[in-house]
Structure 1
Amino acid sequence: MKVLLIEDEPMLLDEMDTYLTEQGYRCEKATTFGVGEDKIVLYEYDVIILDITLPGGNGLQLLQLLKKLQKEAGVLIVSAKDSLTDKLAGLNLGADDYMTKPFHLEELNARVNALVRRKSFKGSPQIVVDDLIIDPIAKTVSCNGTFIALTRKEFELLLYFIINKNRVVSKQSIAEHLWGDHYDSVDNFDTVYVHTMNLRKKIIAHAGIDYIKTVYGMGYKFTSM
């Protein structure tokens, strides 16, 4: 899951980044309104954690931008302001949840997990694709009761394919999702090819079905029976 953290407090930003990265999320950071605005326009995210008070603008304006662009990211507002007016304004503009600072990182993680389930997996704690059972929280994949050993990148890739089921995803979009701000450091897309082929082989070995189709000249598409 790809998360954008828009927060101007350096210590809190680093704490959220470190903790959520440890939980398996791919995090990108923005410390100002302008940087947050650029990232929202240019990239896609599963979850955006958004502070209201930012250098250069107000987080509620970014909510309006998300609505205008019809972005599908779940939005969790974190703010020192605990007024009913701010909460209602944020929720009315499309935010999915609201937390008041200070908060425990464990609670933040729980809220993000719940948001991901609601947005991407219809609230279900598990994703079922034919005989495959994927648990986004435990980060496990099983087929007919047998666990499939995936690397972290393979697991993230599988979730990305499932979220984009029946859509063609390019190697560039996969690289962006797996490496975030650092995807430009990947000189070519050979690594994307390797991760995809390894995931493909493991699923075929257990399920007997090739879900990941190569769309030549475009990328890959995940389809189920």
Structure 2
Amino acid sequence: MKILVIEDEVLLQQSIKESLEKESFLVETASDFYAAMDKVFVYDYDCILLDIMLPNGSGLDILNELKEAGKSENVIIISAKDSLDDRVKGLELGADDYLTKPFHLAELNARVKAVLRRKHLQGNRAISLANLELDFEDRTLLVDGKAVSLNRKEFDILNYFLLNKNRLVNKTALAEHVWGDNSDQADNFDFVYYQIKNLRKKLQECGAHVEIESVYGVGYKLVQK
């Protein structure tokens, strides 16, 4: 799962980033209005943490642009302004939640997970397909009720495939989602291929009733056997 933290306070931004990375999220950051605008309309994020008071502009203006683009449903506002007007305005513009500074990082993490459950899992903590069950909270995979060991990237890849089951997954979109924005600077996608090769082997060895099909020149598709 990929998260964008839009926050100009360097220490807080770093603390949030480190806390979310400990929960195995992929985290990108932006420190001002223009950097944030560049990122939110170039890359897709599962959740955006948005400060209202930013250098060069307002977070509410970013939220308004996101709403017009139909991308505001996964935003949590984090702000030092505990203003009822700002809170109402943010929620009207489509933000999922509003958290007032200072806050405990554990609470922020819990709210991020709640937004992701609502966005992707209809409130559930696990995704199931055939004889697989992938637990988003514990980051575990069960096949026929037995645990299968996955590394972080393998888990994130399988999670992305399950959220897009039976859909063609473009290599570029998969790389950006699992490896972050810097993946677009790579000369090739060999790093994606090797992780998928290992994941395929594990799924086959544990008797999973799904397989990852290659679509030549485009990407992959997860299908049920």
| TM-score over 0.5 (shorter chain) | yes
1:79-116 alpha-carbon deviations (Å, 9 max, x no partner): 00111111110001000011000001111100001111
Q: How does 1:8-19 map to 2 (within 5 A)?
A: 8-19=8-19
Q: Please give the secondary structure, in 2, of the residue aligned with 1:211.
A: strand
Q: How does 1:210-221 map to 2 (within 5 A)?
A: 210-221=210-221
| Equivalent position of 1:144 in the other structure | 144
Q: Please give the secondary structure, in 2, of the residue aligned with 1:214.
A: strand
1:34-56 alpha-carbon deviations (Å, 9 max, x no partner): 11111011010000000011111
Q: Please give the secondary structure, in 2, of the residue aligned with 1:223.
A: strand
Cα 1:135–1:51 change in 2 (3 A) is same
Q: How does 1:156-195 map to 2 (within 5 A)?
A: 156-184=156-184, 186-195=186-195
Q: How does 1:77-92 map to 2 (within 5 A)?
A: 77-92=77-92
Cα 1:99–1:124 change in 2 (3 A) is same
Contact 1:53 1:79 (C-alpha < 8 Å) held by counterparts = yes
Q: Please give the secondary structure, in 2, of the residue aligned with 1:196.
A: helix
Give the C-alpha shift of residue 158 in structure 1. 0.8
C-alpha distance in 2 between matches for 1:105 and 1:171: 33
In angstroms, what is the RMSD of aligned CA positions? Answer: 1.4
C-alpha distance in 2 between matches for 1:110 and 1:194: 33
Amino acid at match of 2:125: P
Say yes or no: does 1:21 pair with 2:59.
no
Structure 1 runs (4+) deviating above 4 angstroms are: none
| Equivalent position of 2:108 in the other structure | 108
| Equivalent position of 1:204 in the other structure | 204
Say yes or no: does 1:70 pair with 2:82.
no
Give the C-alpha shift of residue 161 in structure 1. 1.1
C-alpha distance in 1 between matches for 2:218 and 2:70: 24
For structure 1, the residue ranges without an aligned partner over 5 or more in a row are none
For structure 2, the residue ranges without an aligned partner over 5 or more in a row are none
Q: Answer with 156-165 or 66-75: which moved more.
A: 66-75
Aligned-pair identity (%): 48
C-alpha distance in 2 between matches for 1:122 and 1:135: 14
| Equivalent position of 1:2 in the other structure | 2
| TM-score normalised over the length of structure 2 | 0.95
